[in-house]
Amino acid sequence: MSERHTVMRSIHDLGLAAWFGGSLMGAIGVNGAAAKLSDSKQRLGVASAGWARWTPVNAAAIGVHVAGAAGELITESPRVMAQSGVGRMSVIKTGLTVAALAVTGYSRLLGMRLAKSDGTPVAGVTEPDHGTPQQLASQQRQLRVLQWAIPALTGGLIIVTALAGEQQKPGQVARGVLKRMSGLTAMSKGMSKGVSKGVSRGVPMMSKGVSRGMPLVMSKSMPMGMRKIGMRVGQQAMAKVRH
């Protein structure tokens, strides 16, 4: 497992930053500024023009973010398997990403529909006026909620990404691997009586592969692939600690 993935992390973070910042600025700046126009018939057209110019940039930002996220998931797959908590964090992050993509796509669809109503008097981009047609008013109300849902979801992604970074600290890796291996050993069938006593007393059994730096609760009944991944991740964590 490589120690550095600078390019993937960079495009992941830059794409997410543009996605979050652009959606927040659009809701506050573009929609807010258009609502200040004195002519209520120009408000939808001005806002739609602004969003249309931002859409290609936003699409590119989302694309590079998703590419970076996919690359990180692949390269960090050994930790997902070996370190407790990483898999759960990955599931949460994936769920937030899918939700943000869905909300962003639907919001853009509503925005395109609003653009076709250019010239219709409205109180604001997401606020209907007394003379606004009912169907258009319904679309505006939906967009009023969704415009804040996008920065909320992408902001959640930023927080989860920060938490995922904390999980990569050597101490967190060591504790996470130990916890995962302890849990797997407790569930393994055919556990020896000596290992069972060691686990019940809180005394970790030493594995030959990691006895030099990191104690892991191991069992011969544990899958060999999992044991190798755990030992490799644990050894890398301890090497970071020493340096």
Contact assessment for residue 122 and residue 43, using Cβ atoms and an 8 Å cutoff: yes
Model confidence pLDDT, tens digit, residues 222-242: 455 555 555 555 555 555 545
* Mean pLDDT confidence for 200-225: 45
Give the per-residue pLDDT at 73.
Answer: 84
pLDDT in tens, 44-55: 999 999 999 999
Token code pair at residue 19? 């996605």
Judge contact between 174 and 214, C-beta under 8 A: yes
Domain ranges of the chain: 6-168, 171-242
Task: Give the mean pLDDT of 6-21.
Answer: 94
Is pLDDT above 70 for 193?
no
**pLDDT number for residue 6:** 87
Average model confidence (pLDDT) across the chain? 79
Tell me how far apart the alpha carbons of residues 220 and 190 are, in angstroms, rounded to a whole number.
Answer: 9
- Distance (Å, whole) CA 169 – CA 149: 31
Q: Which pLDDT does position 24 carry in this prediction?
A: 97
**CA 240 to CA 61: how far, in whole Å?**
33
157 contact partners, CB below 8 Å, separation of at least 6: 16, 20, 93, 96, 97, 100
Q: Is the pLDDT assigned to residue 213 strictly greater than 70?
A: no
Q: Is the pTM of this model over 0.75?
A: no
User: pLDDT tens digit string along 98-149?
Assistant: 999 999 999 999 999 999 999 999 999 999 998 899 999 999 999 999 999 9
Strand partners, 124: 127
Q: What is the structure's pLDDT at 56?
A: 97
